Structure 1
C-alpha cells in the first residue's frame, strides 16, 4: 500500500515538461471526448487567418497613428492602447489555443497553462475597462465640454490608460495563484478549476459587468443630451463638431459590442454547461467566434475614422485606392434632408486635438 501511495505521489509531481496530453486526460475523467478532426482543422484555419490579420491590422493601425503627428491625439491614444491590448491577446491567448487545435494537445506544461488562463481573463477585462472608461470620456466631452477644457488632457489620458490595466491586474494578487488552472481536453484549452467559483463570479462582476454598466449609462446620457441639444447648435462648425463626437462615440460603442459578441457566447455557455455535456465541436465554434472578434477592431477604426484609414493606406502606398474609396464613400453617404444636400462631416473638426493643445472653442 505504501508503495502504491509513493507511486501516486510521484506521478503527481511529474514536471511540466513531461505533462502530456494523455496525462491531462487521466486527470480529467469527466471529459471523455475531444473535438473531431474536421472541426479542429477548420477552426484552426479560421483562427490562423484571424490571428495573422489581427496582428497585421493592429500593428499597422498603431504604427500609422504613432508615426503621424496629426493623429497623435487623445482619442487615437485610446485606440493605440486598445490595439496593443488586442495584439497581446492574440499572441498570448489565441496563439496558444491555435497551437492546441493544430497539435490536438497542450504541450507547453502547466506553468504556461496557468499564465495563459489568467492573461486571457485579464486582457479581456482590460479591453472592457478601456471601453467603459472611454465611455466616461465621451460623456465628459459631449455633455460637460466646459469642464473638459479645464482639465489636464495628458494627466487624464494617463489616468484612463493606467486604470484600464491596473484594475484587471489586481486579480493576480491572491494566495492561490499558480494552482488555479487545469487543462480541459474537451476544450483543448486551460480553464479555472471548479473550486474557484467565487473568484470566477468576482471576475465576471468587476471585469465584465461593471464596465458594461458604465458604458450603457454613459451612452444613454450622451444620446439623451444630443437629442435635446442638437437643435440648439445652429452654427455649421458646432453641428459638425457634435456629429463628429457622436461618430467617435459610436465607434467605441461598436468596439465594445464586438468584444461582447465575441466573449459573451463562450462565457454564457461555460456558465450553463458546467459539466461540459455539450458537443466538443460546439465549443470549437464559439472559441473561433471569440478569436475572430479579437481581430475585428482595426476594421472598425478604419471604416469609421477617415484619417486613420488614410494614414494606413499611405503606409501601404495605396493612396490612390484610398482616394477612390473616399469618393465612393462620400457619394454613398450624401443625402437629401429638407431639400438640402447633406454630406458626412469633416474629420478635421473634433475634440480629439493633440495632447498638448486646447479643446476647440464652441
Structure 2
C-alpha cells in the first residue's frame, strides 16, 4: 500500500508540475539535449519507415522475392513500418517532453497499437522460423506444408491474436484490473496488473521465443549435415566422379541458398530477441516490485525495441544479395530504366546463371 501511495504521489506531483508549467513541460532542462533527442529519434523514425517500405516494395515488385517466406517478411515489414508511422512519433514526444498532450483515450489507443504491433512482429518471426524449419529440414513436404492458403491463414493469425490481446484488454481497462492507482491525464504510463503482465508477456514473447529457438536449433543441426554433403559433392566433382555434375552443382547452389536464408533470418530473430528481452522482462518484474521502476529505464528499454524495427531492412540488405540489389535498384530509380522488369534475376552471379542454363 505504501508503494502505491508513493507512486501515486509521484505521479500527482508530475501532473501538477505539468499543469503549472505547461509551456515548459519537459524532463531535460537544456534545449540542446531536447534538440539532440528529437534529431536522434527522428532519424530512427525515418529509417524505420523508409527501410521497411523498401522491403514491401521489393517483395511486391520483384517476382523472385515472392516466396512463402517473404510473404511473412513482407507482413513483418508492414508491422514495423506502422511502428514508425503511428507509434514512434508520439512516443518520441512523450519521452522528450515528459508529458502526454493527447488525452487519455488516445493514450489507450497508442498503447494498444504499441502492444499489437510488437506482438505481431514476434508472431511473424515465429512463422518465419516454422517456414525455414520445413524448408531446410523437410524440403520434400515444404510445398505441401506452406501452401498459399496456409500462409494466408498464418498471416491472419499473426495480426488477429495480437489485436485481441491488446485492444480488448487495454481499451476496456482489463489490463489494470485490481491496480488501485489513478494515472493523471497529463501522463501516459502503461501500468499493468500482475496477471496481465505475466500472461501477455508469455503469449507475446516468451512462448514464441521458445518455439523459435527450438526451430532454429534443429535448422542449425540440419545445416551442418548439409554442409558435410556439400563438401562431399565438391570432392566428387574435383575427382571427376559423377555422371551429372551440372545437376549436382544446381543442388549444391540450392542447398547453399537455403542455409544462407536460414542464417540470415536466424540473425534477424536473434537481434529481435536481444533488443526486446529487457523490456518484456521488466514488464513482468515491475508489477511485483510495486511499480517502482524509473521512467527513464522504461524509455530506454522501450526505444531499444523500437530501434529493432529499423534494423531488419539493413540486415536483409547486408546478408541477402537479392534484397540488397532490389534496394539499390529502388534507391537509384533503376527500376524505371529500360531492361528492368519484375521478373529479372537478383541473386545469381553470371557464373551461376551459366551453370543453370
Provide TM-score, normalisation by structure 1: 0.71
Number of residues of Structure 1 aligned to a counterpart in Structure 2: 295
Is 1:310 the counterpart of 2:325 in the alignment?
yes
1:261–1:293 Cα contact (<8 Å) kept: no
Q: Secondary structure at the match of 1:105?
A: coil
Q: Secondary structure at the match of 1:200?
A: helix
Among 265, 272, 279, the residue aligned to 1:259: 272
Alpha-carbon distance in structure 1 between the residues aligned to 2:83 and 2:189: 15
| Alignment correspondent of 1:241 | 254
1:266–1:286 Cα contact (<8 Å) kept: yes
Q: What's the CA shift string for 1:115-171, capped at 9, x where partnerless?
A: 111221121111111111111111111111111133463113212211212222231
Alpha-carbon distance in structure 2 between the residues aligned to 1:231 and 1:175: 51
| Alignment correspondent of 1:101 | 95
1:106–1:188 Cα contact (<8 Å) kept: yes
Deviation at 1:23? Answer: 6.1
Instruction: Mark the CA change 1:282 to 1:62 in structure 2 (over 3 Å): closer, same or farther.
Output: same
2:27–2:96 Cα contact (<8 Å) kept: no
Instruction: Mark the CA change 1:175 to 1:82 in structure 2 (over 3 Å): closer, same or farther.
Output: closer
Where do residues 56-135 of structure 1 align in structure 2 (5 Å cutoff)?
A: 56-135=50-129
2:73–2:128 Cα contact (<8 Å) kept: no
Where do residues 33-44 of structure 1 align in structure 2 (5 Å cutoff)?
A: 35-37=27-29, 41-44=35-38
* Structure with a larger share of its residues in helix: 2
Structure 2, unaligned stretches of length 5 or more?
1-13, 20-24, 234-247, 335-345, 350-357
| Alignment correspondent of 1:286 | 301
Deviation at 1:317? Answer: 1.6
Instruction: Mark the CA change 1:40 to 1:204 in structure 2 (over 3 Å): closer, same or farther.
Output: farther
2:58–2:323 Cα contact (<8 Å) kept: yes
Instruction: Mark the CA change 1:45 to 1:278 in structure 2 (over 3 Å): closer, same or farther.
Output: farther
Alpha-carbon distance in structure 1 between the residues aligned to 2:188 and 2:122: 22
Structure 1, unaligned stretches of length 5 or more?
1-20, 27-32, 320-345, 350-362
Deviation at 1:65? Answer: 2.2
Instruction: Mark the CA change 1:316 to 1:124 in structure 2 (over 3 Å): closer, same or farther.
Output: same
Instruction: Mark the CA change 1:284 to 1:121 in structure 2 (over 3 Å): closer, same or farther.
Output: closer
Q: Secondary structure at the match of 1:59?
A: helix
Alpha-carbon distance in structure 1 between the residues aligned to 2:169 and 2:204: 20
Instruction: Mark the CA change 1:278 to 1:208 in structure 2 (over 3 Å): closer, same or farther.
Output: closer
Q: What's the CA shift string for 1:328-356, capped at 9, x where partnerless?
A: xxxxxxxxxxxxxxxxxx9349xxxxxxx
Instruction: Mark the CA change 1:25 to 1:262 in structure 2 (over 3 Å): closer, same or farther.
Output: farther
Deviation at 1:270? Answer: 4.3
Provide TM-score, normalisation by structure 2: 0.72
What is the alpha-carbon root mean square deviation over aligned residues?
3.2
| Alignment correspondent of 2:347 | 347
